[in-house]
Each structure stands twice: as structure tokens, then as C-alpha cells.
Structure 1
Amino acid sequence: MKLPALVAGVAAVLLFAVGCGGSEPETTTNAQGQTLDKVTLTLNWYPYGEHAPFFYGKAQGIYEKHGIDLEIRAGQGSQKTVQATAAGQTDFGWADTPAVLAGVSQGLDVKNIGVFLQTTPASVQFFTEQNISSPADLRGKTIATTAGDALSKTFPAFLKANGLAEGDVSLQNTDAAGKMAAVMSGQTDALLGYATDQGPTMQERAGKEVSYLRFAEHGLNFYSNGLIAAQDVLDERGDLPSRMVAATSEAWTAVQQNQPAAVDAMQGASEQLPSKEVLAEQLASTLELLHTDSTQGQAPGVNTEADWRATIEIFAEAGVIENAEEPSAYWVSDLAPEE
């Protein structure tokens, strides 16, 4: 990760250009004469099914109803999205919670304003023909991973929770894009990834069924993706952060009622966009992750302090952060959407 001093230097150069830090935010006017705030949202990766609520919310005028003219940008990993958000290169980001924890611990002035994926999609993924049905079946297997990312750092905790030692498996390091190729070519038996991302794509490309050992179903759950904002945006953009959270919560709620239309709203979003079939499977899997036991029945994006503490403890023990701080160091609790 970039050093805090470097990030701060980049931020100083970029603040004026992006309309933060005292410059006037840009606005547009819609057909009804309503003034809208121009807002950029940078995703954690290139668009895939998980991101359908943003595209659907924009297409259905949900963001516009909340006074937002939304521009959705592709990302290149949660870590870079956290850095870009802190540097003022984007108004809001969509990033994994461990990347936010790590960024804050390195001095980045950024906070989560609502975790939406509250059950982690982290998983071990493999072709069903491998006959892996429990964590114990991973003994002796080779697993593709990306060194230094949150999954690789929490995997030892997953093994420990299931009575395994790190030496029971072999890890083959590759970049994020190379993990699927490693499994499909037979170089590895499995990969560490998100069940809402690689699995459906790998299944379609290889023409073979993919199965999962999900962390959350085997003793290890933690917060995953959510909205983030720099402290400058929180301090200087008035009620925009609360409107962004409210609109996003409404969009996620609406998608649950019309998943096919949400998939259709993504068409043309990216040259790397998966097929409609894969998008639909990714979205359906994502919608299963919106709550923990303590937030069932709440609007998407409502978090609890207890869940935040549990997540912080897991990543402190995994070494993602050196010093576990109070949830308020990472999360703004008073922007939660209303029912």
C-alpha cells in the first residue's frame, strides 16, 4: 500500500481538481428543474453482478430523487478505491471493510458510511468434481491466492476455526486476475475469492460446476463491502453523504423486487461485463449477504456497533491492522438509512 505521506501529497494536488477541500461542488439540473449534485462513485472492481443496485438505482431515478446525478466508475481493487477516496479523486467509494481498516490504520482520512454486504462472500472455490465438501477436505490441496490481500490474511483464521493448520494446505501466489486461470488449468485445486465474483464466471468459462466453502458458513464472518467517503466530504458537503446512503439503501431494496431489470440496467457498463446469466447469479448471491442476525429486518446499510467490533477484532488478530480502535475510527454511525 502507498505510504500515508505519499497519499497526502497526492490528495493536496487533486483536491482542487475534484471539487473538494473548499472548491465549489458541481451541480446539474434535471428535466423537472431540480438541482442535482454531481457525484462520482468508484467501485471496488470492474462492474459485475454485485454492483447492479447502483446501475438500477440510477436508471430508475432513485439517486436523482435524492438530488444526486450519479457517475459510476470502475475500480481496480478495494485498496486502490480507499486510496482514491481519501485523496479526493472520487466523492464516494465502494470498498471492502478490511481495506478500509487497513487504510485508516495507515493514516488515510476516510470512513465507512454504511456496510451493505454484512455477511462476507469470502470463500474457497473449486470445481465440484474435486469432491471437497468440508474444510477438512482441503488437507493436501493447493490453493491460489494473492499475497497480502485481506483473504490471504484471514485464511489462517478460517483454517484455525476448522481445526486445520496453515501447513495443511499449499498456497500458490498469483495476481487477482490469475486465480481463475490457475484453477481452470489445473495448476491449483482451488482459489480464495468471493463467491459473488469469480465462481459464476469460472463455471461459465469452464463449463463445469463450481462449489464453495464459504467462510461465513464455517465459523468466520465479518463485514465486507460498503460505501466510504473522505472526511472532507463528510465535513464539507452538507447532507450529501446521508442522501447517498439513503439512495443506495433504497436502490438495494428495489433490486430485491426486480432482479432481472437490475441485470438489464447493467448492459453496456463495461467491456469486461460478464454475461447476463453470470450477472444474474452474482446478484442473487450478493442479495443473500445484506444482513447479520442483528440487522435482520432492517434497511440495507444499517450496521451495529457489535458487528463492527467483531469485524475489527478479526482483522486485528489477522494482522491487517496493528491497533484495534473504536468503531467510530472507521465508521460514521449516524448516517444509517431510515426504514
Structure 2
Amino acid sequence: MRSARLIGAVAAAGLVLAGCGTADTDKPTTTTSGGVTTVKLQLQWFFQAQFAGYIAAVDKGFYKEQGLDVQLLEGGVDIVPQTVLATGKADYAVAWVPKALASREQGAGITDVGQIFARSGTYQVAFASSGIKSPADFKGKKVGNWGFGNEFELFAGMTKAGLDPGKDVTLVQQQFDMQALLKKEIDVAQAMSYNEYAQLLEATNPATGALYKAEDFSIIDWKTVGTSMLQDAVWANTDKLKDKAYQDQTVKFLTATIKGWAYCRDKPEECRDMVVAKGSKLGKSHQLWQMNEVNKLVWPAAKGVGIIDEAAWNQTVDISLTTKNQVGDTVLKKKPEGLSYTNDYMQKAVDAAKAAGVDVLGSSFTPQTVTLTAGGA
């Protein structure tokens, strides 16, 4: 139950934001002392390699090089990052794009200024022996999903395959682990490439007494299906972006963030150790797997890390507007209005990082082969 999927739920976002409006300017989070500015970044979930780039930027002093003292705020079950940002309790937040856009529609004044994850990491996973190889094969099956606004890639995939998610499958509220699939209580389960899928490969196959292998499972990857949506992005306060000082701070913050993610691309074991040292409850092999899989979502970055791809953005918005869940709800009721995203600050950060000698494209990035151990220890 370590993935950032419960946070920022569409329904919760609406409830939380209903009475909060925009940032509370009477309680600014940014303070400057001795030439160093304190900045708060709200994460989606507890410390894990999903956030390794930010952790590395703190631990290696990359933010300090930019004159920033960045405080990382852990997420949790009852924390909606974009709401924390919109209410002025953080300077920036990491959140999935569709959930943050839902919060914007409810009144949150936030803007995507850095699309760190260029690709989605969401899978549906089934046992290979089930014969399930595509969304069309879900018909008549028990399909697990987390809900809470995380189900729309799945529902878009089923709709594209000609299935009615409310009639043609049995939807099961999946717990935040893979036990229902392992016990064969459901036929196909939702999983993040960097977390729950690894949990399967860390489990013992009762038929062999050894750990499960990749060939024991069938993966439906929404990137391949064509219904993936953008996930982890850095969000800024829209109103504060009108201020030159905040604009400059945003460029500095993103420049150091780029350096952190590039460091974790090149030194995944060291970044794994930084994450473990932060108190993550996930084991070292699991965190290295997660680091490796997260790097695949960030690198390579054809236009520079964090630059928002318009086609991917439009696909996310289109699915948010048109795909219905089992009760007929969509993520968004209308197209995002105002400054929903901008590449202006990230482009300046990419240019600054490149000028400082950072590889901002990662064109030669090659994933590792990570060996998982029982329980991810």
C-alpha cells in the first residue's frame, strides 16, 4: 500500500476544496533568512523511490546551491497534495495530472510547471495461465481496481475495447496490495510498475517453492493500449506565479530538481540508499526496483526532463473529459481553464541545468536488471 494512488482522489478533492478557495496569503510558507529561502514541497505519499530525485536534491545540496532550503513534506492517506498547495501550506506539490485537474475544476489555483514523469506506470496484471492478454479479455472477469480516481486509464482501456465497465465486468474494490490476485480472488489486478508489480515477484509461488517469475504473469500496459494518463508532476501556485520572485524561485527549484533526477538516473543504488535512510518501510531490493522503474518513466526525455508533451497532455485531458467510470462519472466536466500548465519555467530550468553540465535528455539511459528478494528485503 505504498503507491501514490489514494492521494488526491477526485471525490475527496471536491469535498476538501469546496470551501477553501485559493492560497492563504496571510500564512506564507516561503521565508528567507541569510540569503537562503525555505521552500516546502508536498509529496503524494510516504518517502519511497518514487520521490528519489527530490530526496537526492536535498541530500546532495542541489537545492542549497540554488539558495533554497527545501523541506519535503511526506504524504499520507488523508493528505491531498494539490489541496495543501492551493491552501498555501506548501510552495509546490507533486500530484498526478488528472487528480490535480479535478481539484482545479473545484477551485484550486494550481499550475503544472514540471512534468517529471513523462510516462504512466500503471498496469493491469493477470496470471499468464488465465489467458488474459488485453482489455477485451476482461469481459466476464473479476477486475480489481483501487478507485479513488485511479481507475480511469483502466476504464478508458475497457471502453476502447468495446466493453461497458459497468456491465461487462465484475468490478472489485482492490486492497492496497496484490493478495487478491495471488489468492485468485480476482482475475486481474491494478498495479504500478514500480511497486505492486514488484510485490508479485517478491512473493513465493506455492507450486514451486521459489519466487514468482515475470513469465508467470501477463501485463496490460496502458501506454501500449493507448489510454495512459500523465502522473507525477510538480505543481505551483497559479496566483503566486504572477510574482517575479516566485517565478525566479520556481526556476531555481526546478533546476535543482532536474539535477536530483539526473543524479538518480546515474547513481540508482546511492539514491536507493538515500530513500531507505529517510525511513522507508520498503526493503532495499524493492526500492532499487522502484528506482529503476521510476527512471524509466522519467528517462529518456526527448525535449528535456520535465517538459510537458502537448500530445500526452491532450490525451490525459480527453480521457478525463470523456471516460466514465461504473457510475457514469468523469474526471472533468469541462476543459481546463486558465493556466493549467506551462513549460516556461521548466524550459529555463532545463537550459540552466544543461549549461551547468547536466545531461537533461538522458538519451543513453539504460535500465538496470534488478533482482528482487523475498518480501523485497
TM-score using structure 1 length: 0.84
Q: Does 1:235 align with 2:242?
A: yes
CA 1:301–1:307: 2 relative to 1, 3 Å: same
What is the distance in 1 between the residues matched to 2:241 and 2:164?
43
Q: Does 1:7 align with 2:12?
A: no
What is the distance in 2 between the residues matched to 1:157 and 1:113?
26
What is the distance in 1 between the residues matched to 2:50 and 2:113?
18
Q: How many Å apart are 1:122 and its aligned residue?
A: 1.6
Q: Which amino acid aligns with 1:324?
A: K
- Contact 1:96-1:225 within 8 A present in 2 as well: yes
CA 1:147–1:50: 2 relative to 1, 3 Å: closer
**Which residue, 185, 188, 194 being the options, matches 2:186?**
188
Q: How many Å apart are 1:140 and its aligned residue?
A: 3.1
Q: Does 1:329 align with 2:339?
A: yes
Q: Per-residue displacement from partner, 1:121-159 (whole Å, max 9, x unpaired)?
A: 12113455545433344333312223341x323322111
Q: Which amino acid aligns with 1:198?
A: E
Counterpart for residue 147 of structure 1: 147
What is the distance in 2 between the residues matched to 1:269 and 1:202?
25
Question: Aligned to 1:331, what secondary structure does the other structure show?
Answer: coil
Correspondences of 1:19-58 after superposition (within 5 Å):
19-20=28-29, 25-27=30-32, 35-58=35-58
CA 1:64–1:130: 2 relative to 1, 3 Å: farther
Q: Per-residue displacement from partner, 1:138-182 (whole Å, max 9, x unpaired)?
A: 333312223341x3233221113334442332211245x3x4343
Calculate the aligned-residue CA RMSD, in Å.
Answer: 2.6
Counterpart for residue 233 of structure 2: 226
CA 1:258–1:125: 2 relative to 1, 3 Å: same
Correspondences of 1:191-206 after superposition (within 5 Å):
191-206=189-204
CA 1:77–1:332: 2 relative to 1, 3 Å: farther
What is the distance in 2 between the residues matched to 1:199 and 1:320?
25
Counterpart for residue 259 of structure 1: 268
- Contact 1:233-1:241 within 8 A present in 2 as well: no
What is the distance in 2 between the residues matched to 1:331 and 1:190?
34
Runs of 4+ with >6 A deviation: none
CA 1:79–1:304: 2 relative to 1, 3 Å: farther
What is the distance in 1 between the residues matched to 2:125 and 2:19?
36
Q: Does 1:311 align with 2:323?
A: no
Counterpart for residue 32 of structure 1: none
CA 1:78–1:44: 2 relative to 1, 3 Å: farther
Q: Which amino acid aligns with 1:334?
A: D
Structure ranking higher in helix proportion:
1
Q: How many Å apart are 1:249 and its aligned residue?
A: 1.5
Counterpart for residue 123 of structure 2: 123
CA 1:185–1:46: 2 relative to 1, 3 Å: farther
Q: Per-residue displacement from partner, 1:43-77 (whole Å, max 9, x unpaired)?
A: 11112222111112222221211222122122136
- Contact 1:78-1:95 within 8 A present in 2 as well: no
Q: Which amino acid aligns with 1:48?
A: Q
What is the distance in 2 between the residues matched to 1:279 and 1:47?
10
Q: Per-residue displacement from partner, 1:166-206 (whole Å, max 9, x unpaired)?
A: 2332211245x3x4343344332332232222221343255
What is the distance in 2 between the residues matched to 1:222 and 1:252?
21
**Structure 1 stretches lacking a partner, 5+ long:** 30-34
Q: Which amino acid aligns with 2:315?
A: A
TM-score using structure 2 length: 0.76
CA 1:52–1:155: 2 relative to 1, 3 Å: same
- Contact 2:276-2:283 within 8 A present in 1 as well: no
Q: How many Å apart are 1:80 and its aligned residue?
A: 0.6
- Contact 1:62-1:250 within 8 A present in 2 as well: yes
What is the distance in 2 between the residues matched to 1:192 and 1:230?
32
What is the distance in 1 between the residues matched to 2:78 and 2:198?
20
What is the distance in 1 between the residues matched to 2:129 and 2:58?
41
Percent identical across equivalent pairs?
19
**Structure 2 stretches lacking a partner, 5+ long:** 1-11, 205-210, 324-329, 355-377
CA 1:196–1:183: 2 relative to 1, 3 Å: same
Q: Per-residue displacement from partner, 1:250-275 (whole Å, max 9, x unpaired)?
A: 211222111111111112323x5311
What is the distance in 2 between the residues matched to 1:136 and 1:195?
21
- Contact 1:122-1:215 within 8 A present in 2 as well: yes
Q: Which amino acid aligns with 2:259?
A: E
Q: Which amino acid aligns with 1:240?
A: Q
